[in-house]
């Protein structure tokens, strides 16, 4: 069967390769791939900067944002042939650590976890793949066109779960939320902020008509500079990883501000700032700044709920390019107007 493969650590090795069929496994679902979504992590892997192949192999099957259809389910499974399914990305470490043992592999303590399509395990960009039920999320048929957004939404659902926990300890309910970056993660973070009835603003670096229209349709504000905000944000979901902006939003947050960092910073560009006055800003304002990565089953379920309650057309409009697998190289080109690009099996 065909699979999109890469040799981790080497650039220009991305190829549509012939790989063996997945090994039959009596406890796993056999899944036919419908699509994979692409993100910055995939781009880093194909540029050779990130990712690792399974032990003893040279190539890695790419793809961690999945959507597939069950071909065969084991006896006694809650899935049946024809069901839509999304695969969870991370697998617990073999020890397992206390977090992984509790099913909270997103909080793995020892870093020995694997991740499908990223770290030590083949991804979902193959015509067929297997999936243990414990790592399979059932997707309702109404999300057939947009269920590919479930994995990125799970990342956002975990971020919001952490924010909710912190905010629940405040003696008042925060109102103003700032989301930085109007890419897929930012737009999904804004969606989940609006669903929580916050007053949400989305900061983008340059005017993008589609994104601005989506943000407005959501009932959120679209802005291009921090000084356009109505007031200091009480909650910030930082989705760009842009180093200067990370520093700026920590400073711009309100007293008792909650700043959630979700973006990775590319490159090694140094940003000059006074660490002492930055520290004083955080201390004197009771600010909480934290990072978040990955998601467990509970977050995929919360994400599913958020997607099902999204305004009509919002998710469809986020998927701006659907490229057939044969033209995979085109999918990685950056085009104006891109929000989320998917690769589809025909």
Can you give the binding site for Zn ion, defined by CB under 5 A? 93, 97, 100, 108
Work out how close the CB of 111 gets to Zn ion at its nearest, in angstroms, rounded to a whole number. 8
- For Zn ion, give the closer residue by CB, 97 or 148: 97
Q: For residues 99 and 323, which CB has a smaller minimum distance to Zn ion in the complex?
A: 99
In terms of CB distance, is 81 or 293 closer to Zn ion?
293
CB of 101 to Zn ion, least distance (A): 8
Segment (H or E) for 84: strand 84-87
The DSSP bridge pattern shows strands 235-238 and 221-223 to be unpaired
Among residues 132, 86, 141, 137, the alpha carbon closest in space to that of 297 is found at: 137
Find the shortest distance in angstroms from Cβ 114 to Zn ion: 11
Kindly state the smallest distance separating residue 18's Cβ from Zn ion, in Å.
Answer: 34
CA triple 54-55-58, angle to 5 deg: 65
The number of beta carbons lying within 10 Å of the beta carbon of residue 344 is 15
- Least Å distance, CB 96 to Zn ion, is 5
Smaller CB separation from Zn ion, 108 or 237: 108
We find the least distance from the C-beta atom of residue 24 to Zn ion, in angstroms, to be 28
DSSP 8-state secondary structure symbol assigned to residue 73: -
d(CA 161, CA 305): 13
Nearest to Zn ion of 97, 315 (CB atom)? 97
Among residues 73 and 108, whose Cβ is nearest to Zn ion? 108
- Which one, of 6, 95, 84, lies nearest residue 49 by Cα? 6
Smallest separation (angstroms) from Zn ion to the CB of 294:
11
Question: Is 122 in contact with 58 (CB distance < 8 Å)?
Answer: no
Contact, 128 vs 32, CB < 8 A? yes
Number of helices (H), then strands (E), in the chain = 10, 19
Distance CA 189, CA 178 (A): 10
Identify the CA nearest to 152 among candidates 30, 79, 67, 242: 67
Nearest distance from residue 94's CB to Zn ion, in Å?
9
Phi, psi of 187 (to 5 degrees): -65, -35
Count CB-CB contacts under 10 A for residue 238.
Answer: 27
Nearer to Zn ion, 102 or 230 (CB): 102
Q: Please identify, using beta-carbon distances, which residue of 105 and 198 lies nearer to Zn ion.
A: 105
Instruction: Show the beta-strand stretches assigned E in the chain.
Output: 2-6, 15-18, 28-37, 60-61, 65-72, 84-87, 90-91, 114-116, 120-121, 128-132, 136-139, 176-180, 199-203, 221-223, 235-238, 258-261, 288-291, 319-324, 340-344
Q: What is the dihedral of CA 97, 100, 105, 106, to 10 degrees?
A: -50
- Considering the complex, state which of residue 71 and residue 102 has its C-beta at the smaller distance from Zn ion: 102
- Least Å from the CB of residue 100 to Zn ion: 3
């Amino acid at each position: 069967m065909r699979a999109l493969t890469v040799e981790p650590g080497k650039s220009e090795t991305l190829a549509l390769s012939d790989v063996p069929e997945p090994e039959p496994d009596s406890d796993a679902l056999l899944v036919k791939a419908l699509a994979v979504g692409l993100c910055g992590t995939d781009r880093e892997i194909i540029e050779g900067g990130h990712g690792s192949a399974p032990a003893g192999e040279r190539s890695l099957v790419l793809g961690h944002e999945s959507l597939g259809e069950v071909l065969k389910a084991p006896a006694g499974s809650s899935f049946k042939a024809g069901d839509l399914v999304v695969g969870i990305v991370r697998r617990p470490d073999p020890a397992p650590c206390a977090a992984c043992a509790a099913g909270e592999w997103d909080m793995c303590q020892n870093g020995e976890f694997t991740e499908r399509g990223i770290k030590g395990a083949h991804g979902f960009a193959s015509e067929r793949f297997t999936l243990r039920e414990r790592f399979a999320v059932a997707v309702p048929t109404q999300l057939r066109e947009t269920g590919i957004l479930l994995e990125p939404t799970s990342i956002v659902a975990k971020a919001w779960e952490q924010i909710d926990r912190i905010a629940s300890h405040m003696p008042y309910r925060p109102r103003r939320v700032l989301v930085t970056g109007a890419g897929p993660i930012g737009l999904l973070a804004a969606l989940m902020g609006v669903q929580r009835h916050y007053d949400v603003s989305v900061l983008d670096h340059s005017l993008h008509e589609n994104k601005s229209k989506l943000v407005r349709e959501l009932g959120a504000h679209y802005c291009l500079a921090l000084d356009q905000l109505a007031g200091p944000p009480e909650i910030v979901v930082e989705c760009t990883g842009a180093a200067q902006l990370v520093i700026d939003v920590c400073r711009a947050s309100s007293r008792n501000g909650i700043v959630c960092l979700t973006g990775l910073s590319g490159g090694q560009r140094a940003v000059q700032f006074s660490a002492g006055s930055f520290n004083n800003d955080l201390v004197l304002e009771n600010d909480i700044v934290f990072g978040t990565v990955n998601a467990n089953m509970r977050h995929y379920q919360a994400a599913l709920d958020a997607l099902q309650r999204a305004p009509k057309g919002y998710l469809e409009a986020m998927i701006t390019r659907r490229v057939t697998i044969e033209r995979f190289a085109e999918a990685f080109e950056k085009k104006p107007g891109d929000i989320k690009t998917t690769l589809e099996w025909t």
